[in-house]
Amino acid sequence: MASTFDYRPTRAVISLSAIKENVRNLRKQLSNNTDMIAVVKADGYGHGAMQSAQAAIEAGAIMAAVATPDEALELRTKGFSHPILVMGPSPITFLSEASKQNIAVTVTGVQWARDAVEELKDFKGILTVHVKIDTGMGRIGIRSEQELKELLKILEGTSAIKIEGTFTHFATADEKDSKRTHKQFEAFTQLVACFPQRPKLVHAANSAAALRFPEFALDAVRFGIGMYGISPSDVVKAEQPFRLKRALRLETEIAYVKQVNAIEPISYGGTYEAQPGEWIATLPIGYADGLKRGLRNQEVLVRGQRVPIVGTICMDQCMIRLPEHVSEGEPVVILGKQGTEEITMEEWATRLGTIPYEIAVTIARRVQRQYFGD
């Protein structure tokens, strides 16, 4: 999968075999009646939506899920031929295209259903939908039996809409206390029972729930972050039934090396002052690549050792302090393993006060993705 432009050593190296292994391992934990939906929104959490979706399908997933209509269309444009579900809201104007491209969309509520039926009045095709039930996420979906009944009645008004599935989303499945998750599941079960005909795919579990509560797996799980080898939280990490294998490694090479011979300011603002004798190297990666400015002082790996980023991170470059002279061209691991050391998205997330999900999607498009293990 070589790209036309490949002159920059800064790249994300992605293991498709790791993705496949994570998918296979989770499938082994689930009953044979539970299918897997591979969540590849936000360009496969930064790993490449198309490649990740294909890898997941090869490992046994039946469907890809995305957040937006555009993400679904991008998969179709790239030749992805398996079922796709748009989990977020779709504008009504997307529906005929969705039907043509065999993309299932989410019914977000009563008004959406009304608008959809109106839009598809003279429509000849079939639109596949999943009805979203809000059991405690507070985002999209109907919230009561009354609303569900009203919605189902509206959808009966057209033969152009086929209800393939219904789903809910857990808000706290990654937290220690599972009370809310159990409550959400209970509420979901009650509302699912209101369908005159149980939809073919009833699904609730995200990665955290799929890994911790196999009893909530139902007809399918929506496997997102875990597919890429990242645990949703430390709680899940401690409880997960198998080791997730990280799929992404962010690496670069030393572009320039110098030894300073006096006290010298380094980078914008001159906030770091190198001491005489220090070896300072420049890396061709910066905040426009996803190496956030807040990561100053974060370490990277050179020759299997942790070395610190020093000074302000620039848009396209940053500086590190080496314990000794190292040649230009020396490999540097920004995220991933080198020797026995490892720098994880969790480590960055802690430093930045966020969650690993945000780190994964922060690695910029500009960073070349390289795939192996196909």
Ligand X SMILES: *Cc1c(COP(=O)(O)O)cnc(C)c1O
**Among the residue ranges 222-230, 233-241, 295-303, 308-316, the one whose residues contact ligand X (CB under 6 A):** 222-230
Binding mask 166-205 for ligand X (x = CB under 6 A): ---x------------------------------------
- State yes or no: residue 225 binds ligand X (CB under 6 A): yes
Among residues 104 and 310, whose Cβ is nearest to ligand X?
A: 104
Number of residues that bind ligand X (CB under 6 A): 13
Among residues 83 and 226, whose Cβ is nearest to ligand X?
A: 226
**Cα angle vertex 182, ends 180, 188, to 5°?**
100
Binder of ligand X out of 57, 75, 84, 87 (CB under 6 A): 87
Binder of ligand X out of 39, 40, 192, 281 (CB under 6 A): 39
Among residues 39 and 50, whose Cβ is nearest to ligand X?
A: 39
- State yes or no: residue 136 binds ligand X (CB under 6 A): no
- State yes or no: residue 207 binds ligand X (CB under 6 A): yes
Whether 162 sits among the annotated catalytic residues: the reply is no
CA distance 194 to 291: 49
CA distance 221 to 207: 8
Per the annotation, does 139 bind a ligand? yes
CA 200 to the chain's CA centroid:
25
Among residues 222 and 249, whose Cβ is nearest to ligand X?
A: 222
- State yes or no: residue 109 binds ligand X (CB under 6 A): no
CA distance 44 to 52: 6
Least Å distance between CB 326 and ligand X?
Answer: 37
Per the annotation, does 87 bind a ligand? no
Positive or negative: CA dihedral 315, 359, 47, 328: positive
- State yes or no: residue 206 binds ligand X (CB under 6 A): yes
Detail the DSSP E strand segments found in the chain: 11-15, 35-39, 63-66, 84-86, 103-107, 127-132, 161-167, 201-203, 220-223, 248-253, 256-259, 264-266, 272-274, 279-283, 299-302, 305-310, 318-322, 331-338, 341-343, 368-372
CA distance 171 to 167: 13
Whether 17 and 59 have beta carbons less than 8 Å apart is answered as no
- State yes or no: residue 246 binds ligand X (CB under 6 A): no
Whether 236 and 208 have beta carbons less than 8 Å apart is answered as yes
- Residue among 96, 108, 121 at smallest CA distance from 169: 108
CA distance 110 to 283: 53
- State yes or no: residue 247 binds ligand X (CB under 6 A): no
Cβ neighbourhood burial of 214 (10 Å; 0-12, 13-18, 19+)? middle
**Among the residue ranges 74-82, 217-225, 288-296, 332-340, the one whose residues contact ligand X (CB under 6 A):** 217-225
Query: 């966020």: which residue's tokens?
Result: 354
Chain position whose Cβ is nearest to ligand X:
224
Binder of ligand X out of 165, 232, 290, 356 (CB under 6 A): 232
Whether 268 sits among the annotated catalytic residues: the reply is yes
Residues annotated as part of the active site: 41, 268
Residue ranges for the binding site for substrate? 139, 315
**Where does this chain bind ligand X (CB under 6 A)?**
39, 41, 87, 169, 206-208, 222-226, 232
